[in-house]
A = this chain, B = another copy of it.
């Protein structure tokens, strides 16, 4: 079929489609047209049809899309039926929040290990898993072969960890640190969550809303 790889813009919209379809499903909606979905989601119908057709013809002319089928298909495309062995490193506030907050299993992620470098935390149990010291990473990874790591550690810690993890065959990262994994380790798959960047973007927009595009400093006169 010669699929040329789907653009990241499209991929990033899939989870949102998945959520909306899940809700329609909860409301027992059986079919939906691209037009109606587009109105609910604030997109164009064209875009929805284009996006979906990157992966296959899931609709039917004159009818629209079967909600349940489409929901399931997108779930499969996103790999939510998998069991990707995953470790989480850094069990501070953020790590704990993520652990308790995300529905990992239903996203195809299986957390098989927790690590921290603070002796005070090592040995503590969270959701059936015991926090191990980061010194144990090598032994653990050789035995259990995790594919994904969630990094809830500061930048300088991440830097060292990623070097070690890459050697151990971990090449996918959900990265909450400011360390630029993709730049330093090409060939890895990285999804960055830069909360600070997001907040700063909001700040910009707030400022813009209040005093629209005040010309900046700029050129000497």
Contact = CB atoms under 8 A, between A and B. Distances in A.
Interface of A: 1, 3-6, 11-12, 14-16, 18-19, 40-42, 55-58, 73, 76-80, 82, 84, 92-94, 96-98, 100-104, 107-109, 147-148, 171-174, 178, 180, 182-183, 189-191, 193-209, 212-213, 215-219
17 contacts: A3-B213, A14-B201, A15-B201, A16-B194, A40-B183, A41-B180, A56-B216, A56-B219, A57-B218, A58-B218, A77-B204, A104-B199, A172-B206, A189-B202, A189-B205, A191-B205, A193-B193
A79 B201 contact: no
Nearest to A218: B56
Given A206-B148, A213-B3, A219-B57, A12 B201 contact: yes
A214 to B, nearest CB: 8
A92 B4 CA distance: 43
B15 A197 contact: yes
Closest 5 CB pairs of A and B: A56-B218, A79-B207, A15-B197, A97-B97, A191-B202
